[in-house]
Chain A
Amino acid sequence: MHNVQLTTNLGNARTLTLAANDWQQSDTGIALIDFQDKADACAGDTKETHTSLTGQVPLASGESITGLTFSIGVPASENHQNQVAASTPLNLSSLFWSWQSGYKHMRLDVAPEGGITRPTDSGFSGTTWNLHLGSTDCTDDAQNGDEVSCGRNNRPDIILTDFDPTQNHVFFDYAALVAGANLSEDSAGPAGCMSGLTDTECSPVFAALGLNLTSGNTDTSLTQSVFSVR
C-alpha cells in the first residue's frame, strides 16, 4: 500500500511518514502488509509476517486522529522500475507483475478444500485460487527509459472513518473479498482473478474492493466491503 494518510478532527489529511524497515520505505511511502507465514501447506520455509504499519505523523495541539485513508498497491512512480535492482520490499519476486512491467498490488492465493474444477473442461484440476491485483493495459518499457502508463491502474483507494489508532485495528475480511466468487470453480484462464478485463472471476472481487473493472478506478457508486475499523 501507499499514500497512507490520517484524517483528523480539524479536517486535515496528514501523511503518515513510514518508519524505514524491510517492509516499509519511508521515502516512497510504500509498505508491504504480509500475512503469509508459510506455516501451512504453502511451498517454502516459514517466514516472518508484517501486519502493522509503523510511522510518525505530526499533530497540532488539540488535534486527534479520526480516520485513515490509503491506496492499495505500488504507486505509478515506483511501479515500473528495474525490479531486479529494486530495494526491499520491491525486490520480492513473488510480487513481480513483469508481463505488465510492474508489481502485483495485492496477492492472495488460497488452496480451497476439494480443489478447483472447470465445468467446461473435465480434464482441468487446480489446487490454488489466486487473486493477483495489478495494473493492466500498460504501455512502453521502463527499461528503455520510457515513462510507462497503464490504462487500468487497479489501485483501490480505501477510506476508513471512526478510527482511533490507540483503540482500533483495521480489519481485513477475506471472506467479504471473495463473497461473490466460487472458489471451487473456474471458468477459464488462470484459476481465480488475475485482473483481466475478460476474467470472469474478477467481477465480484473488484466490486468488493470498490474498483470498477472496466476503468480500473475506485468507483464511488460501489462501497468496498473488505476493510473495516474494529
Chain B
Amino acid sequence: MKSGHRLQPGFWAGFCIFGLAACSDLSQTTLDSDGKIASLFAWNIPDDVPLPVEPESNPLTQAGFELGRHLFYDARLSGNGTQSCGSCHLPEKAFTDGLPVGIGSTGELHPRNSQSLINTAYNATLTWANPSLRSLEQQIVIPLFGESPIEQGITDGNRDEILQRLRDEPRYEALFADAFPDEGDPLNYDNIVKGLASFVRGLVSFSSAFDRFERGETSALSASAQRGRALFFSETLECFHCHGGYNFSDSTTDRSQTFIERPFHNTGLFNIGGVGDFPADNRGILEITGDPSDMGKFRAPTLRNIALTAPYMHDGSFASLPEVIRFYAAGGRNITEGPHAGDGRSNPFKDGFVTGFELEPSQEQDLVAFLESLTDTEFLSSSHIQNPWTDAP
C-alpha cells in the first residue's frame, strides 16, 4: 500500500488558493493537520463516524455529485439508449433492483445480484468479489464498457455517438463546466466516470432508527428490535464478525484507518460434488486470484437498508430475510438434487463463524425487526439523490 491515496493537507491548501469560491463549501468542516475531516463536500454524517477516503484525483464536490446524479439516471449513457445505472440501482430499493440478478441493456443476465450503493464510499473493495477493485473510478469502467456480461454496452463503435447524445443535452454543458471548471472541454469519458463515482461516493447514510437508538433515542427501536439487536451482536449468532462495525461489513475502510482489511467469506451456499465447488459462473474471488482455497468467497455486504434489498446473497438465492436467517442457522445450505447438489454445510472452504445456531420463531422475528431498523427511509426519500430527469420541463 502507498499512502498516496490519502488526503494530504498540502493538497487541500493548494486547492483553496486557486479556487477560493469552492472553499465556501467547507462550512461544515474545518481543515485539520491530518486532513481527516477536510472535504469540499457536505457529507452530513454524525461526528462519531469517520469520513470515507476521497481519491486525490477526484475529490468529492457538490458539483461533481450533481453531475454524477444526472449521468447516473441517464439512459443515453447506454449503447442502445435503453438503460441507465439507475435502472438496476433504484433509490426506493436502497439502489438495488429487486431481481435475483441484474439485467443488462441488451437483455443479458448478470451472474450476480445488483448491490446496494449506499455507503460504498466505505467499502474496502467493490462489487461482490474482487480484491483489487478499490476505487469507484476503477469499478465504474466495468458496467460502462464490460462485455462479459454487457451492462451499459458502451463500445468502440458507439462511444462517440454517446458523447454526442450528452453534448446535445442542454443541461450537461453547465454540469460538466461546474464540476471541472479548469478544463476547456470537460465532456469526456474520464470525467463521466469521475462524475458517476462522485454521485455514488456521496450516497452515505447513517440516520436509520438503529442509528437514532445508538445516539440515545431509546424509543427509536421497538422492544422486539432491541431483543433482535442483542441477538445480532451475540457470540451465539456470530453475525457481527462479518457484518460488524458502523457499516455492518468487515470490508470497511475510512480515513482513520491505517491497516485496511479486505476479507472475503465462503458461507456454505454451495458444495457441488462435495469438493467445495460453486457454480462455474460464480466462484467468488477464486476467479480473480486463481487460489483454489478462494472458492466461493464473497465480500460481506453492508446490512444497512437490508430489508429493502431482497432477494439476497450474491446470486439472489433467498427471497426473504427469514430465509437468510434460517440459512445461517443451518450453518449452510444442503442442496439434495440437481446439477448443484452438495451439502454446503460441509464446504471445506466455509468460514469458521458460519457454524449454525438455534432460534425460536419469536427470536427470528426479533432479528428481522432489528434488521428492518437499519433502513434509512429519510435518506432514501430525500430529493437530492432522486432522478433529476423526471422533473424536466
Residues in chain B near residue A209, CB distance under 8 A:
none
In the bound complex, CA of A97 to CA of B146 (Å): 8
The one of B5, B138, B157 in contact with A101, judged by C-beta atoms closer than 8 angstroms, is: B138
Q: Using CB atoms, name the residue of chain A closest to B159.
A: A93
**A227 contacts partner chain B, Cβ-Cβ < 8 Å:** no
**B67 contacts partner chain A, Cβ-Cβ < 8 Å:** no
**Binary interface encoding of chain A residues 116-153 relative to chain B, with 1 for a CB under 8 A from any of its CBs, else 0:** 00001100000000000000111111111111100110
- Closest chain-B Cβ to A172's Cβ sits at a distance in Å of 22
In the bound complex, CA of A10 to CA of B76 (Å): 59
**Interface 9-mer from A16-24, A58-66, A159-167, A187-195:** A187-195
- Closest chain-B Cβ to A84's Cβ sits at a distance in Å of 4
Residues in chain B near residue A144, CB distance under 8 A:
4-5, 55, 134-135, 138
**A171 contacts partner chain B, Cβ-Cβ < 8 Å:** no
Residues in chain A near residue B1, CB distance under 8 A:
140, 146
**B289 contacts partner chain A, Cβ-Cβ < 8 Å:** yes
Evaluate contact between A141 and B133: CB separation under 8 angstroms: yes
Q: Using CB atoms, name the residue of chain B closest to A102.
A: B132
Q: Using CB atoms, name the residue of chain A closest to B289.
A: A137
On whether A139 and B131 interact (CB within 8 A), knowing A93-B155, A194-B148, the answer reads yes
On whether A197 and B148 interact (CB within 8 A), knowing A43-B157, A98-B138, A145-B2, the answer reads no
**A96 contacts partner chain B, Cβ-Cβ < 8 Å:** yes
- Closest chain-A Cβ to B78's Cβ sits at a distance in Å of 14
In the bound complex, CA of A83 to CA of B189 (Å): 9
**A85 contacts partner chain B, Cβ-Cβ < 8 Å:** yes
**B145 contacts partner chain A, Cβ-Cβ < 8 Å:** yes
Evaluate contact between A92 and B146: CB separation under 8 angstroms: no
In the bound complex, CA of A142 to CA of B291 (Å): 22
**B90 contacts partner chain A, Cβ-Cβ < 8 Å:** no
In the bound complex, CA of A64 to CA of B223 (Å): 88
* Size bracket of the B interface: 35 or more
Q: Using CB atoms, name the residue of chain B closest to A146.
A: B2
Evaluate contact between A188 and B2: CB separation under 8 angstroms: no
Residues in chain A near residue B142, CB distance under 8 A:
98-99
The one of A94, A139, A148 in contact with B155, judged by C-beta atoms closer than 8 angstroms, is: A94
* Size bracket of the A interface: 35 or more
- Residues facing B in A180-226 (CB within 8 A) are 188-190, 194, 196-198
**Binary interface encoding of chain B residues 42-66 relative to chain A, with 1 for a CB under 8 A from any of its CBs, else 0:** 0000000000000111000000000
On whether A145 and B55 interact (CB within 8 A), knowing A84-B189, A98-B141, the answer reads yes
**A82 contacts partner chain B, Cβ-Cβ < 8 Å:** yes
Evaluate contact between B155 and A143: CB separation under 8 angstroms: no
The one of A98, A101, A145, A152 in contact with B4, judged by C-beta atoms closer than 8 angstroms, is: A145
Q: Using CB atoms, name the residue of chain A closest to B157.
A: A44
Residues in chain A near residue B133, CB distance under 8 A:
99, 101, 141
In the bound complex, CA of A120 to CA of B279 (Å): 12
The one of B135, B192, B193, B281 in contact with A189, judged by C-beta atoms closer than 8 angstroms, is: B281
In the bound complex, CA of A146 to CA of B6 (Å): 11
- Residues facing A in B307-332 (CB within 8 A) are none
Q: Which of B5, B132, B137 has the most CB of A within 10 A?
A: B132
- Closest chain-B Cβ to A216's Cβ sits at a distance in Å of 9
Evaluate contact between A101 and B290: CB separation under 8 angstroms: no
Residues in chain A near residue B145, CB distance under 8 A:
83, 93, 96, 98
Residues in chain A near residue B283, CB distance under 8 A:
198
In the bound complex, CA of A74 to CA of B188 (Å): 24
Residues in chain A near residue B169, CB distance under 8 A:
none
On whether A143 and B135 interact (CB within 8 A), knowing A120-B339, A190-B148, the answer reads yes
**B32 contacts partner chain A, Cβ-Cβ < 8 Å:** no
Q: Using CB atoms, name the residue of chain B closest to A83.
A: B141
**B220 contacts partner chain A, Cβ-Cβ < 8 Å:** no
Evaluate contact between A141 and B135: CB separation under 8 angstroms: yes
Residues in chain A near residue B4, CB distance under 8 A:
144-146
Evaluate contact between B288 and A100: CB separation under 8 angstroms: yes
- Closest chain-B Cβ to A93's Cβ sits at a distance in Å of 4
Q: List 6 A-B contacts (CB under 8 A).
A: A44-B156, A83-B141, A138-B132, A140-B134, A141-B138, A143-B137
Closest 10 CB pairs of A and B: A188-B280, A145-B4, A197-B290, A141-B134, A143-B135, A144-B5, A85-B190, A84-B189, A44-B157, A93-B145
The residues of B with any CB-CB pair to A shorter than 8 Å are 1-2, 4-5, 55-57, 130-135, 137-138, 141-142, 145-148, 154-157, 159, 188-190, 192-193, 280-281, 283, 286-291, 339
